[in-house]
Amino acid sequence: MRARLARLGHWLDDRTGLPAALRQFLDEEIPASSGWHQVLGSVALFLFLTQAFTGALLALNYAPAPGEAYHSIRYIMAEVTGGALLRGLHHWGASFMVVIVVLHMLQVFLWGAYRKPREVTWMIGVVLLLLTLAYALTGYLLPWDNRAYWGTVVTTQIAASAPGLGPYILRLMGAEQGVGVVTFARFYSVHVLLLPPLTVLLIVLHVYLVRRHGVAPAPGDELKPGKKFYPGQVFKDTAAIFAVFAVLFTLAVAVKAPLGRLADPTDTAYLPRPEWYFLFLFQLLKYFEGPLEVLASVVLPGLAVALLMAAPFLDRGAVRRVTQRTTALLIAGLAGIGWAGLTLAAIASTPPGAVFGDSTGPQQWRELSPVEVAGIGYFHREKCEACHALGVRAEPKSSPGAGPNLGAATTRRDAAWLIAHFTEPSQVVPGSSMPPVSLSRAQLNALASFLLRLTPENAEKLTETPVFAREGAILYQRHRCEMCHQVNGAGQPLGLSLNGLARRRDAAWVRGHFLDPQKYSPGSTMPPYEFTETENDQITAYLLALP
C-alpha cells in the first residue's frame, strides 16, 4: 500500500508539481518570534472562502431582482434544507470578516511590519480592507427589505454629496432616479461578479509577497535561528480558524439573520440604520451638517485611507518592539476610542421603537384578513388619524374636535354601532363634530373590521402596515377575490388558498396571471383584470407577503 501511495505521489509530483509545492509551502522558514499574533491573516482568508462558499450555495435559490429577491430569501430561510443556517453563516460571516481584517491590519500596524521591503504588501492589504467594506456595502441591499432599501438610500445620498463627482457616482450606482431595479442590478453585479475575482487576485498577490519577503521578525530576532511553518504555526492557524468558525457557527444557529418586511419606497417614516461597523460614519455625519457634510462623507474617510496607504513612507523611525512603539499605540488607541465612541453614540441616539437590527419588522398585519387590512387603508385614506390617535404610547391629539385614542380605548363597540357612527356621527354621538364618512357599505364594513381588531398591544404595529399591503388589500376586496380564494382563513375555498403563494409562484407569474389568467392557468374561470402597473405591483406584493 505504501509503495502504491508513493508511486501515486511521484506521478502527481511529476505531472503537476503540487506535492513539491505543498512541501515547499509547509517547510518555509519563519522567524523564531512568529506565534499566535500572526494567525489573523489565515483566519481572514478562511472567512473569505466561507463567504464565497455560502454565497454560492445561497445563489442556487436566490432570485436577483427586487421583490423576488426578498421572497426568495424568505423561501431559503423557511423551505430550503439548511437554508437558515447558510444565510446565518453568510450574514454573520460578513461581520466576522470585517472584524478579523481590521484586527489583522491593526496587528501589522502595531508591529511595524509594513516597513521596507513590505510596503506594497501593506498597500494591497489596505485595498483588501476596502474591498471587504465594499462587499458589506453592496450586499446590504440584496435582501430587499425595508432595512436594506432605506439604508442604501442613505448611502446613495452620501455618495451624491462628493464635490464635483457626486452626480457621476450616483449615475454609476444607478440611483439617479432613486434606488430601484438598476441600483439593485449594479449592486448585485459588483457583489457577485466583480469583487470576488478582484479579491482572489489581490489575495494571491498578497500571499506571494508575504512569501517573497518573509514574515517580519521582531526587532533583535533577525539573526536568531528560524523555524518551519509546519507544524507549529500550522497548528496555531488551524486552532484559531476552528475557534472563530465555532463561534460563527454558534451565532448562525442561535441568532436568526435579520429579514425585515418587504422594501416599501413609500414608507418615509422608516428610520434607516446601517450595519454596526458603519455606525461611526453615520454618527459622524450628524456633527457636520449642511456645507460641512462633505467633510464627514468624503474628506475625512479619504484622508484616513490616504494615511493608511502612506504609513510605510511616513514611519521612518528606528525599528522597535511593539511595546516601545508609543506613537503607533497612541494612534491606534485614539482611533479605537473614536470609533467606539461614535458607534455607542449612534446606538444611544436611536429613538425607542426604531427598527435597528430587526429580524421580523412590524408584520402583524400579515395575520389579518384582506378586509381588515383594507380597513387600515381606508383609515389612512379618510385621514382618521387627524383626530384619533392609535396606541397607548401615541401622543394625544390637540385639535378641537379630537376623538378618543382608538388603540387604548377601554369601551368596545360592535360593527353595527361603528358603521352607524361613520354614516351619521352626530345622531349616534350627539354633539360630535365628526363629518360623515363617504365610503360604500363594503368599505365601511372593512373599516369597522379593522377597528374591531385593535388592541393596546397591536394598534401601533398595525398602523405601520406598508402602503403596498393596504392598497393591495383594497384591490383584493374591491374585486371580490374572497369569493373564490381564502387568505388567513377568510373567504371561499373554491380556488387555491393564497397563503404561502410566494413558495409556489414568483412576482412575474402573479402579475401576468392577473392580466391573462387563461394563458397561465388554462381552463381557469378567473376573469382578466385591467390593473394599472402600480395596482398590479401592489396586489402582487401583498399576496406574495402573505404567511
* pLDDT tens per residue across span 135-160: 999 999 999 988 899 889 888 888 88
More confidently predicted of 108 and 264: 108
Among 2-11, 309-318, 330-339, the range scoring the smallest mean pLDDT is 2-11
What pLDDT band is residue 209 in, cutting at 50, 70 and 90? very high
Residue 222: pLDDT above 70?
no
DSSP-derived secondary structure for 58-74: HHTT---STTHHHHHHH
Q: 202, 210 in Cβ contact below 8 A?
A: no
**CA nearest to 113, candidates 280, 251, 319:** 319
Q: What torsion, rounded to 10 degrees, do the Cα atoms 181, 182, 186, 187 define?
A: -40
- Is 176 a residue whose pLDDT tops 60? yes
Q: Render pLDDT for 35-89 as a digit per residue (tens, 0 to 9).
A: 888 899 999 999 999 999 999 999 999 999 887 898 899 889 888 999 999 999 9
Q: Which of 55, 15, 237 is nearest to 136 (CA)?
A: 55
Q: Of 450, 306, 273, whose CA–CA distance to 365 is shortest? A: 450
pLDDT at 336: 94
Asked if 384 and 401 count as a contact pair (C-beta separation under 8 A), the reply is no
Given a cut of 80, whether residue 487 has pLDDT beyond it is: yes
Q: Which residue has the cell 521596507?
A: 116
Which residue segments constitute the domains of the chain, with CATH numbers given? 28-348 (1.20.810.10), 364-544 (1.10.760)
pLDDT confidence of residue 266: 66
Comparison of pLDDT for 125 and 349, the residue scoring more: 125
What pLDDT is stored for residue 43 in this prediction? 96
3-state secondary structure of 197: helix
Among 98-112, 221-235, 253-267, 398-412, name the one with the lowest average pLDDT.
398-412
- DSSP states along 381-393: HTTGGGT---STT
Question: In 3D, which of 282, 294, 350, 279 has the Cα closest to residue 98?
Answer: 279
Q: What residues contact residue 518 under an 8 Å CB cut-off, 6+ apart?
A: 524, 528
Q: Is residue 145 helix, strand or coil?
A: strand
Which cell numbers hold the place of 480?
A: 371580490
pLDDT-derived band at 125, boundaries 50, 70, 90: very high
Give the pLDDT confidence score for residue 331 in this predicted structure: 93
Q: pLDDT tier at 367 (50, 70, 90 boundaries)?
A: confident
Answer whether 271's CB lies under 8 Å from 354's CB: yes
Which of 26, 42, 28 has its CA nearest to residue 238? 42
Report pLDDT for 99: 96
Strand partners, 145: 262
Question: Which grid cell is 240?
Answer: 484559531
DSSP 8-class letter at 523: T
Reported pTM: 0.66
Q: Is the peptide bond before 197 cis (omega within 30 degrees of 0)?
A: no
DSSP letter (8 states) at residue 402:
-
pLDDT, tens digit, 9 for 90 and up, residues 440-485: 888 877 777 777 777 766 666 676 678 888 888 888 888 888 888 8
Instruction: Report the C-alpha gap between 12 and 14 in whole angstroms.
Output: 5
Q: Which residue has the higher pLDDT, 424 or 11?
A: 11
**Cβ–Cβ contacts within 10 Å for residue 164, how many?**
7
In this predicted structure, the answer to whether residue 368 has a pLDDT above a threshold of 50 is yes
Q: Report the C-alpha gap between 282 and 347 in whole angstroms.
A: 10
Q: What is the pLDDT of residue 241?
A: 96
Confidence category of residue 412, pLDDT binned at 50, 70, 90? low
In angstroms, the CA 464 to CA 231 distance is 59
Lowest mean pLDDT among 101-110, 196-205, 402-411: 402-411
Q: If DSSP states are collapsed to H, E and C, what string results for 297-356?
A: HHHHHHHHHHHHHHHHHHCCCCCCCHHHCHHHHHHHHHHHHHHHHHHHHHHHCCCCCCCC
More confident residue, 253 or 6: 253
**What's the pLDDT tens digit per position in 317-340?**
777 888 888 999 999 999 999 999
Q: In this structure, are strands 486-487 and 227-228 parallel, antiparallel, or unpaired?
A: unpaired
Confidence of residue 267 (pLDDT cuts 50, 70, 90): low
What is the pLDDT, as a whole number, of residue 514?
85
Q: What is the mean pLDDT of residues 202-221?
A: 86
Closest by CA to 382, choosing from 323, 325, 436, 461, is 436
More confident residue, 26 or 513: 513
